[in-house]
């Protein structure tokens, strides 16, 4: 994540729409309440300006009870926030009833940076027509504003939502929320129909068990200064104030994260991959290519103790746990959308195939063996490249293998070695200093021609120029895209340079 994203919900509890199911549509707001909302918002923005940098906050979304963007102080505040160097994005959930052109003009007049504005527009079929809503979306698009559109998945509205899909610009994401009051499960046909409109609708139907370890750095701030970790978690003791030094640790014991504003803001690969660094805006990232590490990213990292207690084989290639269901469906959705999917792993190809059998068909190869082997196995294109090792130093390794307690595994193509693993028994990981000691014993020419890295009880050796980031860059050349158009994820030191490509 680039920085923290927080939500703001003022004391406003009123709306210019009057949908039958909504409690806020019934409340007639007094001028006193409006003044209070305005003052609270101004106070919030003032503190944000002072504290955003120290707190690492880089994005804000207003999630009102009612409609905020018909009130000019929100537009003015957005302009002010968008001018802050440390802020990447600011926006709101809205029914899109506000006059888009006038609001954009007012935003610009106050010096607002249009490129940072984000809109989450919700369609309310009881109050507006498809054509009117789609027209508002088109105006946002013409003004160069990033936005998403969406509606609740009411089965009776399916035809209307299909019409909406057709009426919206083709690249506009139309999300569908699960209908809470449905009182039954969706039928298979309904699920399929909604997934045709929203390829990520499956996320609304998967149960998400609460896990506040994934909610570090997020907040929802209320107008009166009370703060919560997310929109459904309890109030904390801390308050939004000028002397707030750090974002408080998550406080939540919810058993389920029941809506997008909750689960969509958790630190999870799927959210970052589908919706970018600030996924709560719900605007898809749409990368042209995705590069994913395997161990610790597609699969949770297992330590030696876990391997021993689960009785799993001690060779990496024999692990057989499954990819998380939501992640797998997310990858399938990207695949259907013609996104290139690649692995970026330190595993050699054969091991990666065994490890990722259930999702292998979605991928077109990748960067293997820590960048020593690149394979693009596309439907139309096939490219392959290796960085080989001059194996002379192996004789030295043979003389020291007993002293350091390792086995030598060599990975070859056409009899030429491209990777060597010095594998130790379970429970005996390599220390960095030991790895250096071994490397220092190799012939002097190795210093320039080889590189090594430690992965638990494996000391990996490849050619010096083989690394994941360079491999990903070469893939970008092959694909004719820039690194800025990709998404990559990994969790080890080996991934650090690759991850910088998407910053
Ligand atoms: S309910 Fe909210 S704070 Fe709690 S785990 Fe879920 S997303 Fe995190």
**Rounded average pLDDT per 10-residue block, the chain, 503 residues:** 89 80 74 93 98 97 94 97 98 96 97 98 93 97 97 97 97 96 94 97 96 96 97 95 94 95 96 96 96 93 50 44 89 96 96 94 97 95 94 91 95 95 95 95 91 94 95 97 95 90 79
Listed residue (55, 52, 109, 102) closest to 79, CA to CA? 109
Q: For residue 311, what pLDDT is reported?
A: 39
Token code pair at residue 460:
């990996």
pLDDT at 1: 53
CA of 58 to the centre of ligand 1 (A): 20
310 φ/ψ angles, rounded to the nearest 5 degrees: -85, 0
Cα of 258 vs centre of ligand 1, distance in Å, is 9
Element (H, E) at 57: strand 57-62
Where does ligand 1 bind, in terms of residues with CB under 6 Å? 210-212, 215, 229-230, 232-233, 250, 252, 254, 257, 262-263, 266
Q: Which of 203, 229, 235, 264 has most ligand 1 atoms within 8 Å of CB, for mutation?
A: 229
β-pair type (146-152, 117-122): parallel
Q: Is the pTM of this model over 0.85?
A: yes
Report in angstroms the alpha-carbon separations of 264 from 5, 231, 291, 352, 426: 11, 11, 21, 29, 38
> ∠ at Cα 379 (375, 385), nearest 5°?
15
Q: Which CATH architecture has domain 4-281?
A: Alpha-Beta Barrel (3.20)
**What pLDDT is recorded for position 338?**
94
pLDDT of residue 421: 96
Positions of E strands within 204-337: 219-222, 226-228, 235-239, 289-292
What is the rounded distance in angstroms from the CA atom of residue 110 to the CA atom of residue 27?
31
CATH of 289-387+467-500 among 3.40.50.1000, 3.40.50.720, 1.10.1370.30, 3.30.2130.10: 3.40.50.1000
Q: How many residues does the chain have?
A: 503
Checking DSSP bridges between strand 340-344 and strand 289-292, what pairing results, if any?
Answer: parallel
In this prediction, residue 303 carries a pLDDT of 53
Residue-level pLDDT at 204:
97
382-386 and 89-94 as β-strands: parallel, antiparallel, unpaired? unpaired
Q: By three-state DSSP, how is residue 255 classified?
A: coil
Q: How far, in Å, is the centroid of ligand 1 from the Cα of 327?
A: 18
Q: In the chain, how long is the greatest CA-to-CA distance? A: 85
């Amino acid at each position: 994540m680039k920085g923290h994203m927080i939500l703001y919900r003022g004391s406003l509890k009123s709306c210019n729409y009057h949908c039958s199911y909504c409690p806020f549509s019934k409340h007639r707001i007094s001028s006193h309440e409006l003044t209070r909302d305005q003052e609270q918002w101004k106070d919030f923005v003032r503190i944000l300006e002072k504290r955003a940098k120290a707190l690492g906050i880089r994005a804000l979304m207003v999630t009102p009870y009612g409609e905020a963007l018909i009130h000019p102080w929100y537009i003015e505040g957005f302009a002010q926030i968008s001018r802050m160097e440390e802020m990447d994005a600011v926006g709101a959930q809205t029914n899109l009833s506000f006059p888009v052109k006038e609001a954009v003009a007012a935003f610009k007049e106050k010096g607002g940076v249009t490129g940072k504005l984000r809109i989450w527009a919700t369609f309310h079929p009881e109050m507006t027509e498809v054509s009117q809503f789609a027209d508002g979306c088109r105006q946002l698009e013409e003004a160069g504003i990033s936005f998403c559109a969406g509606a609740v998945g009411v089965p009776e509205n399916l035809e209307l939502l299909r019409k909406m899909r057709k009426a919206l610009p083709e690249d506009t994401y139309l999300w569908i929320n699960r209908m809470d009051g449905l009182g039954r499960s969706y039928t298979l046909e309904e699920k399929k129909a909604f997934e045709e409109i929203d390829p990520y609708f499956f996320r609304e139907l998967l149960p998400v068990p609460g896990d506040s370890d994934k909610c570090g750095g997020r907040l929802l701030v209320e107008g009166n200064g009370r703060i919560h970790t997310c929109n459904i978690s309890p109030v904390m003791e801390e308050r939004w104030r000028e002397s707030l030094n750090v974002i408080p640790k998550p406080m939540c014991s919810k058993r389920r994260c029941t809506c997008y504003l909750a689960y969509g803001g958790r630190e999870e690969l799927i959210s970052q991959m589908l919706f970018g660094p600030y996924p709560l805006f719900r605007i898809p990232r749409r990368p042209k290519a995705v590069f994913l590490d395997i161990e610790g990213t597609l699969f949770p990292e297992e330590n030696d103790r876990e391997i021993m207690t689960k009785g799993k084989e001690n060779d990496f290639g024999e692990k057989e746990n499954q990819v998380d269901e939501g992640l797998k469906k997310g990858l399938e959705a990207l695949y259907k959308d013609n996104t290139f999917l690649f692995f970026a792993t330190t595993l050699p190809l054969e091991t990666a195939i065994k490890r990722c059998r259930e999702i292998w068909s979605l991928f077109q190869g990748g960067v293997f063996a820590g960048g020593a082997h690149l394979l693009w196995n596309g439907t139309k294109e096939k490219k392959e490249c290796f960085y080989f090792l001059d194996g002379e130093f192996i004789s030295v390794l043979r003389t020291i293998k007993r002293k350091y307690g390792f086995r030598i595994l060599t990975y070859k193509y056409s009899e030429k070695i491209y990777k060597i693993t010095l594998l130790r028994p379970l429970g005996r990981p390599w220390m960095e200093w030991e790895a250096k000691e071994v490397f220092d014993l190799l012939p002097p020419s190795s210093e320039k021609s080889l590189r090594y890295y430690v992965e638990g009880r494996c000391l990996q050796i490849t050619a010096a120029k083989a690394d994941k980031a360079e491999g990903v860059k070469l893939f970008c050349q092959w694909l004719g895209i820039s690194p800025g158009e990709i998404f990559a994820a990994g969790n080890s030191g080996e991934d650090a340079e690759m991850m910088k490509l998407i910053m």
